[in-house]
A and B are shown apart, each in its own frame.
Chain A
């Protein structure tokens, strides 16, 4: 069975600080996809990134960066120079092998990030 663990339930940092959200996953599949989503108070899930299991390159997009380490089954997310608008619940998710990457996501329980002005 697949599992995603986000051990940090809540994090608060002062604006402009860097913050890292942890994600650890379990799967028996050799091919899988990892995701990060942001859920603001309005409720919709906003897609941030998808990474397949064969691509371990770290990725940077503006103030966001992701560190994928297969050896530790982790896919951590760092926000640099945090802003108040980054306040939200962030979910890490994993999809099963056999699909094309979206069909059945297993989500973690989320990390509520609060940026203090």
Chain B
């Protein structure tokens, strides 16, 4: 595809359920980022990959959050035992190399009920 693709676009989860959010970056993009955007707020950094290496995961809010990018392309953000405060839009972005423009996907809106 031409841009960063995220799926699903919308996800409703019952509290305590595990969820997996997928990001398909632009083909050939080395860098991949995940951000969390709460309603009415700016995005907050979660984690960063360069190829398959997770170079920074300092923004992951708890050990219930886990991200992977095993083959250096598609990435999955997994949230275990979801809680209401996890409700947010999860944005993925990719860039060719770190010092070039990052392209964002449309995000996955997660609602935990």
Contact = CB atoms under 8 A, between A and B. Distances in A.
A91 B95 contact: no
Interface residues of B, number: 32
A102 B31 contact: yes
A91 B102 contact: no
B84 interface: no
Nearest to A47: B101
A36 to B, nearest CB: 12
Given A43-B106, A91-B42, A110-B42, A100 B101 contact: no
A44 interface: yes
Contact of A109 (B4, B40, B98): B40
B56 A104 contact: yes
Given A102-B31, A102-B95, A104-B59, A109 B103 contact: no
Among A102, A106, A109, A110, which residue has the most Cβ atoms of chain B within 10 A? Answer: A102
B99 interface: yes
Contacts of A81: none
Q: A interface, how many residues as a size bin? A: 20 to 34
Nearest to B58: A104
Contact of A107 (B44, B56, B89, B102): B44
B55 interface: yes
A107 B91 CA distance: 13
B98 A43 contact: no
Interface of A: 4, 37, 42-47, 50, 91, 93, 99-110
Given A45-B93, A102-B95, 5 more contacts: A47-B101, A91-B43, A101-B98, A109-B42, A110-B42
Interface of B: 3-4, 31, 33, 35, 40-45, 48, 55-56, 58-59, 89, 91, 93, 95, 97-107, 109
* 3 residue pairs, one from A and one from B, having the closest CB atoms: A107-B42, A100-B99, A100-B98
17 contacts: A4-B42, A37-B104, A43-B89, A44-B104, A44-B105, A45-B93, A46-B104, A47-B101, A91-B43, A93-B42, A102-B33, A102-B99, A103-B48, A103-B98, A104-B48, A105-B45, A110-B42
